[in-house]
Amino acid sequence: MAIEGLDKVGSEIPAGTVSDRQAQEEKKRFGDQKRSEGKKQAVHNLFVIILWFITLTVLAIVGSRLSQLFLPEKWCWLSQEQDHAIDELIVHGTLGGIVVAILKQIIAGRVPSDERIE
């Protein structure tokens, strides 16, 4: 019971075989690039899913709050405390977003300096 090709172990590499250096260059050129593209695509897909989740959540919150405003009182399902909590979330979230945007501009140096004002 012999293993096929066992007699070739330790023999010279055939002439048509690619050298290790060339194989490594091809691996860098093709293999790793495909792998990094796959990672980029996975991160992109995850980012899109998270954006969709956030968008749908915000739409659900705003939609429920608007329905609470316009529907007759007998059809409303949220208490006044819950309505107030949603209002605070919307207002504070909006104000927080505006403040963060302004601070980013200040940090980036896009706001005109006081030196020009005379």
Q: Quick one: pLDDT at residue 6?
A: 64
Number of structural domains in the chain: 2
Answer yes or no: is 18 within a domain: no
- Both 69 and 90 in a single domain? no
More confident residue, 59 or 13: 59
Structure tokens at 55: 């968008």
27 and 68 part of one domain: yes
Shared domain for 53 and 65, answered yes or no, is: yes
Question: 83 and 70 in one domain?
Answer: no
Q: Residues 57, 89: one domain?
A: no
48 in a structural domain: yes
- Residue-wise pLDDT for 49-104, tens only, equals 999 999 999 899 888 888 888 888 888 888 889 888 888 888 888 888 888 888 88
What span, in angstroms and rounded, lies between the C-alpha atoms of 32 and 45?
A: 20
Name the packing angle between helices 32-70 and 80-108 (round to 10°).
Answer: 140
Host domain of residue 62:
23-76
Contact between residue 68 and residue 76 where contact means Cβ atoms under 8 Å apart = yes
Q: Are residue 34 and residue 69 in the same domain, yes or no?
A: yes
Same-domain check for residues 70 and 86? no
Residue 65 domain flag: yes
Same domain? For 93 and 103 the reply is: yes
Residue 45: pLDDT band (50, 70, 90) is very high
DSSP letter string, 20-55: HHHHHHHIIIIIHHHHHHHHHHHHHHHHHHHHHHHH
**pTM score, whole prediction:** 0.50
